[in-house]
Structure 1
Amino acid sequence: MTDGLITLIVTTYNRPDALEAVLEGCFTQSDRNFEIIVADDGSTEVTRDCIARLAARSPVPLRHVWQEDIGFRLAGARNRGIEAAQGEYILILDGDCVPQRDFIEQHRKLARRGFMVTGSRILLDEAYTRQVLERHIALQSLRFADKIRLRAAGHLNKALQLIVKLPDVGREKRRFSYRRIKGCNMAIWRSDLELVNGFDESFKGWGHEDADMVVRLFNAGVMRKDGAFATEVFHLWHREAQRDQASSNKKVVLEREMDRTTQAAKGLREHQ
């Protein structure tokens, strides 16, 4: 467990309505010892204006780092966020994943040297996501009855994980596995990110950047913990990204698992 400053990196690209819902969730956190960095993969002025407006009333420090839009470069945006971070512990959150009020608090409880945490998510369907964004529904304020009702109506893919919180027992994963790797909700010590040279910007297109990070950390001796039944976020619906390079990216991850690669081919050090 850490009692130091946590940096929450929220990645985004041209979806300001979802980003606003996410940041509103961040503003209601029970644990306020954190900062927010919005890592932007080239959004337009609409997103910039949204962030500036919200930063003006943020209860914690909020900064915006931006890179030119020359195609999908999520790894690069995340690395820019890591570079700007002041915290010793880094949480990675996608800009369409609304945190519950105890998101920071629960991740802090699970933080332990020698481990990273892959968090968990609750999927919203298209119809309810539209309602949330149009009516500005505060997902982090849903009551017990609301969660049960939404699950019964099929608007959430699960609800028990929102209701039951389990302690930090039996969460360690001693072997690498693809199961439950969610880059949209991930926590890593900054020193461990620097150890493996951050996210790998050499990956082409969308797919498996998160698994690559987990396997390289594992190869470097950093184990993984499962954040289910503690760290759940509400994942707003969106159309699935085109898996143009997913198969080739997975091949790279499998090769790195076999040859024990630890370093990103193009990562944090290449920004220096």
Structure 2
Amino acid sequence: MTHDKLITVIVSTYNRPDALELVLEGCLAQTDRAFEIIVADDGSGPATREVVERIKRRSPVPLTHVWHADDGFRLAAIRNKAIVQARGEYLIFLDGDCVPQRDFVARHRALAAPRTVVTGSRILLGPRLTALAAARHLPLAEQSLAFWLRQRATGQVNKIAPLFARLPDMARRNVQGFVWRGIKGCNLAAWRSDVVAVNGFDGSFVGWGHEDADFVARLHNAGVVRKKGFWATEVLHLWHPEASRGSEGPNHAKVLARLADRSTRAQEGLEELTAAG
């Protein structure tokens, strides 16, 4: 992808303003500045809006906040609302508890290819390091090797090598067929034209789980190939208690049905959102 094409980074969040602040600060520190940020807010309270407005005042790139009322876990629906507002030709989906490295946008730009979805990976941080970063507003992506060696030694990070090494685009990144493993909506990128063609995310997925796998499955059914972003696009995933997984079973079954019937379009997607006004 050329360096002048606008990218939209869609950051999803829900009532975690301290984590969101770290993520947005990481976005503002990107080496590649040809992007905009849209915060996709799944019904957070005023503290989140305050963080967005404060950072927006000094952001070197456009920053927009889209919100809908809190009516349970509706991540797919709020992502669609952000997609409708996006101006970029390429969309990167990032969670509001996943701090990007300084070359995150640049590396996604380098991996972008026609009719391809890129699934990135993450580095898991522990509770003590997460609390430290939030309390001190620590720029995690700028910390030294010595800092990360200490965190690794105390079990506060699960790996550090991808922080200091990058692998180029190569055949090993390509995924043959549909594979569940490694699909993470917290770090995912696709062309807007492909996203529109499958009607975006499916808002009929409510509660935790597999709305990202459904999205990738429908792209796969539509002929979009998948590329892995390992050792290039890793994000620093801040610790949080595990969400309720009561909806995982039904959501998993819906993805299996998508794969079986080869359907491509979301049941409650972009078209339904725009038609509702």
> TM-score normalised to the size of structure 1?
0.98
2:8 and 2:212 map into 1 onto residues whose CA distance is: 18
In structure 2, what is the equivalent of residue 116 of structure 1?
117
The structural deviation recorded for 1:229 is: 0.1
Which AA in structure 2 matches 1:82?
I
Q: 1:95 maps to which residue?
A: 96
Distance 1:212 1:2, change over 3 A: farther
**By how many angstroms is 1:23 displaced?**
0.4
**Aligned-pair CA distance for 1:127:** 1.1
How far residue 145 of structure 1 moved from its aligned partner, in angstroms, is: 2.4
1:159 is matched with 160
1:177-196 deviations in Å (ceiling 9; x for gaps) = 01111100000100000000
The answer to whether the 8 Å contact 1:2/1:111 transfers is: no
Once superposed, which parts of structure 1, at least 4 consecutive aligned residues long, lie more than 4 Å away? none
Tell me the equivalent position of 1:20: 21
2:210 maps to a residue whose letter is H
Distance in 2 (alpha carbons) for counterparts of 1:167 and 1:259: 35
Per-residue CA deviation, residues 192-231 of structure 1 (Å, 9 max, x unaligned), is: 0000000000113110001000100000000100001000
Q: How far, CA to CA, are the matches of 2:24 and 2:91 in structure 1?
A: 16
1:43-85 C-alpha deviation (Å, 9 max, x unpaired): 1111111110110011111010111111111001100110000
Task: Note if 1:72 corresponds to 2:73.
Answer: yes
Match of 1:105 in 2: 106
The normalised TM-score by structure 2 is: 0.96
Q: Secondary structure at the match of 1:250?
A: helix
1:197 and 1:147 mapped to 2: Cα distance?
A: 41
Q: Say which of 245, 248, 251 aligns to 1:246.
A: 248
Distance 1:132 1:224 in 2: 33
* Native 8 Å contact 2:75 2:206 kept in 1: no
Return the offset for 1:149.
2.4
Which whole-Å CA distance do the structure 1 matches of 2:180 and 2:134 have between them? 31
1:44 aligns with 2:42: no
Out of 170-179 and 20-29, give the one that drifted further: 170-179
Where structure 1 has 5 or more consecutive residues not aligned to the other structure, the ranges are none
CA distance in 2, matches of 1:258, 1:131: 46
Any gaps of 5 or more consecutive residues in structure 2?
none
What does 1:212-251 correspond to in 2, within 5 Å?
212-251=214-253
| Corresponding residue number in structure 2 for 1:206 | 208
Q: What per-residue deviation string (whole Å, max 9, x for no partner) do you get for residues 94-118 of structure 1?
A: 0000000000000000000110100
**For residues 166 and 257 of structure 1, what CA distance do their matches in structure 2 show?**
31
**Count of aligned pairs:** 272
Identity of aligned residues (%): 58
